[in-house]
């Protein structure tokens, strides 16, 4: 992050990935004075750490939310995405340290030339896009938390959970080793979004049981690293390209989630300003998604590349094919059924069903392995935020 409070690293590697309750799978700035984007995380969020330290579960439904007309439900609708944006910023910062551009806007790390070169096989501007996406996510969580605090509501704060190791390869910010929120080295990536956005006959909102094919089936099983774990991962150019390809598909997989989350949550908002916030941030996630889905299609085909550490293999197919479900340059959302099948098909974001969307998003990230090694307290905190967001309803005080 741009600033970080000092936390003692725990031996989190012994913790198992957590699963959320099965019922969730049913469907599943202004302050006085300016807030510096460079200092917010290390100062105002540190303030929130005391609150969470006193009780990690987010039962923050007090008079917090009523100053300025912000209901408890609206506060929950902003606090949950604020937490997710903190999570996104954490892993995008890791990507930027190794394969992006390190500058005054997104400081930290020194870059890994070999990894950066492998990413450039997908697009020569990958480092710039990674930098800009990282900066965007940092501004998202800073704005959301600042807005919450300006209304007297508690912000999302994940500082107590910065305990994961992360990469030790050349280029990382060594001060953050052992202080990460997310794990990019044990990912299981669902690439069914690729065909979902190319299918003109099915919409997960109308066809919740339809199985969309995976673009890269081998990424959807076992665990894969999207960053070099150590310098040893950069010695074999083929394996390093597989790591970069994995990152290339992880980028849009993450961003398509925000692409759906914001319009889904917006339907529950009561205050028009909260609605405005959600529908203003959401489209930037869509811009990220389309950019990254375009770049993922350029991943060099690779066959049966073996991870020398885990023994897991991965194959990246050639997606320059005529099949419209897989064709790489079909990056505009194909029209699909919406609301009712008696209506004409239409090009839309999907899914946008609001029922259980927060807990569903959290389960999706958990199943991905992004939180592998996190503590039970982390899962309890995030589940509480998700439940509060899912319980929010338009018009409820």
pLDDT digits (tens, 9 = 90+) for 132-153: 999 999 999 999 999 999 999 9
pTM of the model: 0.85
* Tens of pLDDT, residues 308-342: 999 999 999 999 999 999 999 999 999 999 999 99
Give the Cα separation of 393 and 198 in Å (integer). Answer: 32
What is the sign, positive or negative, of the torsion defined by CA atoms of 112, 117, 122, 127? positive
Q: Which residues pair with 313 in a beta bridge?
A: 306
- The DSSP code for 314 is E
What is the sign, positive or negative, of the torsion defined by CA atoms of 144, 23, 250, 231? positive
Longest dimension (CA), the chain: 58
Residue 292 has what pLDDT?
98
For 111-117, what is the mean pLDDT?
Answer: 98
Cβ atoms of residues 145 and 155 within 8 Å: yes
- The burial class, CB within 10 Å (0-12 / 13-18 / 19+), for 117 is middle
Report residue 119's pLDDT band, with 50, 70 and 90 as the boundaries.
very high
What is the sign, positive or negative, of the torsion defined by CA atoms of 131, 137, 143, 149? negative
* Tens of pLDDT, residues 243-268: 999 999 999 999 999 999 999 999 99
* Tens of pLDDT, residues 42-66: 333 333 333 344 344 444 444 444 4
Residue 68 has what pLDDT?
58
Cβ atoms of residues 192 and 214 within 8 Å: yes
Report residue 393's pLDDT band, with 50, 70 and 90 as the boundaries.
confident
For 284-293, what is the mean pLDDT?
Answer: 97
For 181-185, what is the mean pLDDT?
Answer: 98
* Tens of pLDDT, residues 26-46: 333 333 333 333 333 333 333
Report residue 69's pLDDT band, with 50, 70 and 90 as the boundaries.
low
Cβ atoms of residues 190 and 220 within 8 Å: yes
Q: Which one is predicted more confidently, 7 or 202?
A: 202
Distances, alpha carbon 224 to alpha carbons 12, 148, 164, 166, 192, in Å: 19, 36, 17, 14, 17
- The burial class, CB within 10 Å (0-12 / 13-18 / 19+), for 104 is exposed
């Amino acid at each position: 992050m741009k600033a970080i409070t000092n936390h003692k690293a725990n031996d989190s590697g012994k913790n198992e990935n957590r699963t959320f309750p099965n019922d969730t799978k049913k469907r599943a700035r202004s302050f006085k004075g300016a807030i510096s984007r460079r200092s917010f995380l290390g100062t105002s969020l540190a303030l929130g750490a005391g609150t969470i330290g006193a009780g990690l579960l987010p039962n923050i439904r007090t008079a917090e939310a009523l100053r300025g007309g912000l209901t408890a439900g609206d506060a929950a609708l902003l606090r949950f995405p604020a937490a997710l944006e903190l999570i996104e910023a954490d892993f995008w910062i890791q990507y930027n340290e190794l394969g992006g551009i390190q500058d005054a806007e997104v400081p930290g790390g020194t870059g890994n030339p070999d990894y950066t070169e492998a990413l450039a096989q997908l697009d020569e501007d990958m480092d710039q896009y990674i930098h800009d996406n990282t900066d965007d996510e940092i501004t998202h969580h800073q704005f959301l938390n600042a807005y919450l605090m300006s209304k007297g509501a508690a912000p999302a704060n994940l500082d107590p959970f910065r305990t994961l190791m992360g990469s030790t390869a050349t280029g990382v910010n060594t001060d953050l080793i052992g202080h990460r929120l997310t794990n990019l080295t044990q990912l299981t990536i669902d690439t069914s979004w690729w065909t979902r956005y190319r299918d003109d006959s099915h919409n997960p909102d109308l066809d919740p049981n339809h199985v969309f094919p995976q673009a890269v089936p081998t990424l959807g099983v076992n665990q894969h690293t999207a960053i070099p774990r150590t310098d040893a991962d950069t010695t074999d150019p083929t394996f390093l390209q597989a790591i970069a390809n994995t990152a290339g598909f992880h980028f849009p997989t993450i961003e398509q989630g925000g692409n759906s989350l914001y319009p889904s949550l917006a339907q529950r908002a009561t205050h028009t300003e909260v609605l405005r916030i959600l529908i203003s941030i959401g489209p930037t996630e869509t811009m990220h998604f389309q950019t990254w889905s375009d770049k993922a299609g350029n991943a060099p085909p690779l066959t049966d590349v073996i991870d020398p550490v885990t023994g897991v293999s991965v194959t990246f197919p050639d997606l320059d094919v005529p099949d419209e479900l897989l064709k790489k340059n079909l990056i505009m959302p194909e029209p699909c059924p919406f609301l009712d099948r008696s209506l004409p098909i239409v090009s839309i974001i999907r899914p946008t069903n609001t029922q259980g969307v927060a807990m569903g998003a959290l389960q999706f990230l958990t199943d991905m392995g992004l939180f592998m090694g996190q503590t039970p307290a982390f899962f309890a905190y995030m589940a509480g935020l998700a439940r509060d967001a899912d319980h929010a309803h338009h018009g409820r005080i």
